[in-house]
Every structure is written in structure tokens, then in C-alpha cells.
Amino acid sequence: MSRATAAPALSAPFAAPGADISLTREDMKFISALVYEQAGIVIREHKEAMTRGRLARRVKALGLSSVAEYCAFLKTPQAASELPELINAVTTNHTAFFRERHHFDHLRKDVMPRLVQERSSRRGRIRIWSAACSSGEEPYSIAASCREALGHRNDVDFKILATDIDTDILARAEAGIYPAELIDRLPADVKPLMKLEGAGRGEVRMADEMRRLIAFKRLNLIEKWPMGGPFDVIFCRNVFIYFDTQTKASILDRFVALLAPGGFLYLGHSESLPQPHANLRLIGRTIYERTP
Ligand SMILES: C[S@@+](CC[C@H](N)C(=O)[O-])C[C@H]1O[C@@H](n2cnc3c(N)ncnc32)[C@H](O)[C@@H]1O
């Protein structure tokens, strides 16, 4: 088995001093297959350097001496508890408050006023799902966008379900603490929608009135989902880019089954349906309506 060209040693905190973080082609294939099987994420060949860096964190955390040793460990039965850590290490969690602003404008101005009016008359439910919520910026932006329409009424049962496969990032989302500068940088018209508390040291914490609207749960999109729906809105943004066509198509079918007729699905800016779907109609930039 030929060893890939030795990588330049990564600086701390990623690699243990002296750890060999080179990755053979065979180990890269093994890791790619494992990550695909566990999370549906396709690691493309050109991502090898990034993968090596991410595995190096696990090498360090486990006190191993090389990526090769880590891969050998993953092949043993004792490695079952390491699999979530591997997935946490390889996920890309980039996100931002009010990222792809047009979705939040659509939700706040077109969707929520109508839903609240419709549901309040029969004390109904409104359910929104943030299906790959990363560190929480997306569900908190959803909460902020919905507060106006909800007002102080208690005749609507409103909840946001926020899920992600990555348990580390989910813990951060649930804590709801962010650098204050992220909020300072928000456009002037959306900043007042956020309800915050001071957390000290240049940080802010999402206020209880925002946090209690959200339930955070670990959920792997390629596994069975425990929820019965229906959802009025599903955000599934910037995660399809990591999946292949087959995985996307199967998840989309399951979204459609959970979406209420007239409900909306928001995808990420570079994402589209793998093929036209009989029950999804494009009504705006990456906004799909569930048809009856
Ligand atoms: C780039 S972030 C997108 C965050 C947010 N939706 C946004 O658009 O700003 C992608 C997220 O998808 C999550 N993810 C990747 N594979 C997943 C899977 N199989 N099931 C659930 N979440 C997954 C990652 O952990 C990561 O937090």
C-alpha cells in the first residue's frame, strides 16, 4: 500500500506534536466510505488536505500517533462510540444570522401573518423545521422573523424544531451565546427583531423569549426521522451540497411527505431539486411550495 506524499506537519491545536498526519489513498477511501455510510456526506478527492486536517484533531484528542493508527482504530468494534466524533470532525458548519436574507423576508412578511391569522381562529399549530441548523444562527433568525407576527398571543401553538447531525455544534446552538459583533453587523432593519441578553466579554445570549420557541435535537437526515409532521416550513439549506443525487431525492420525498399542502421548503443558494418534483413548485429564489 503506497503512502500519499507526506503532508506538511500541521501546527497546534490540530495535530499532536510529532503525529504523522499523512493519509494513504486507501485510508482516504476508507474514511470517505465510512462518512458516506454514516452521514451521506460525499468527500470528494480534492478535499483530501481538509480531511487530513480534520482527522488530525481526532488523532490528537485520542492521543494517537498517526492518522493511519486512527483509521486502524476505526476498523475495530471498540470504535462504535468514536463514529459520532468522526462525523463531528468532518462536518462543515459554516453559517450566519439571516444568511440568504430573502428566505427570512418571505417567512416574516408573506408566510407568518397568513399562518397566524389562519391558525389562531382554531387554536392551531405552526411548525417550522431547521433541518441542518449548525450553530443555531438559522433557527434564531427564524425565531426573530416570526416574533412580530406571533406578538403576545397565546392562541397559536408555535414551535421551531432545529436539528443537526453534529452533537458539538448542536450544543453550541442550544447555548445560544454569540460574539456581539455578529449582531452589531446585522442590517439595521433586522437587528431589532433579535431579543438578546448580555453575556459578558463581548458576547450576547439569545433571550429566553427566543430560546423557548426552539427545540434542538440531534437528527441524521439519512436515518429514520421520529417526527410525524406536518411542517408549515422546512429550511434545508447548504447541506444538500454534501449529498449525492440519490440521497437528495430520497430526503426530498420525505420532506414532501412531512410538509403541509401550501407549506414551503427553502434550499441553499447553490442548491436545487435533483429533478422536478410533482409536489414542489418553485415560487421564488430557492423557495418551493408544497402543492396539494
Ligand atoms: C454548512 S452548514 C449549513 C447551516 C445552515 N443550514 C445554513 O445554511 O447556514 C451544514 C450543516 O449540515 C450538517 N449535516 C451534514 N450532514 C448531515 C446529516 N446527514 N444530517 C443532518 N445534518 C447534517 C452539518 O453538521 C452542518 O452543521
Domain boundary assignment for the chain: 25-90, 101-290
In this structure, whether the domain defined by 101-290 belongs to CATH 3.90.870.30 is answered with no
Determine which one of 27, 164, 166, 232 is catalytic.
164
Determine which one of 54, 57, 147, 211 is catalytic.
54
**What atom of ligand 1 comes closest to residue 268's alpha carbon?**
8
pLDDT band (50, 70, 90) for residue 226: very high
Cα gap 104→194, rounded to integer Å: 13
pLDDT at 57: 93
Q: Which helix (H) or strand (E) holds 264?
A: strand 259-267
DSSP 8-state symbol, 6: P
**What atom of ligand 1 comes closest to residue 39's alpha carbon?**
19
Cα gap 290→278, rounded to integer Å: 9
pLDDT at 200: 81
Active site residue 232: no
Active site residue 119: no
Residues 6+ apart with CB under 8 A from 211: 176
Extract the C-alpha cell encoding 77.
Answer: 468494534
pLDDT at 232: 98
Cα gap 129→159, rounded to integer Å: 9
pLDDT digits (tens, 9 = 90+) for 52-110: 999 999 999 999 999 999 999 999 999 999 999 999 999 999 999 999 999 999 999 99
User: Among 41-50, 107-116, 175-184, 235-244, which is the least confidently predicted range?
Assistant: 41-50
* Cα–chain center distance at 174: 13
Termini Cα distance of the chain: 55
Residue 83 CB neighbour total at 10 angstroms? 15
Does the predicted model carry a pTM greater than 0.75? yes
pLDDT digits (tens, 9 = 90+) for 135-183: 999 999 999 999 999 998 889 999 999 999 999 999 999 999 999 999 9
What is the dotted CATH code of the domain comprising 25-90? 1.10.155.10
Q: What angle do CA 194, 93, 200 make, to 5 degrees?
A: 45
Within 6 Å (CB) of ligand 1, which residues are found? Answer: 39-41, 91-95, 99, 132, 134, 138, 164-166, 169, 220-222, 237-239, 242, 268
pLDDT at 2: 35
Average pLDDT of every residue of the chain: 92
pLDDT digits (tens, 9 = 90+) for 19-33: 788 889 999 999 999
pLDDT at 150: 95
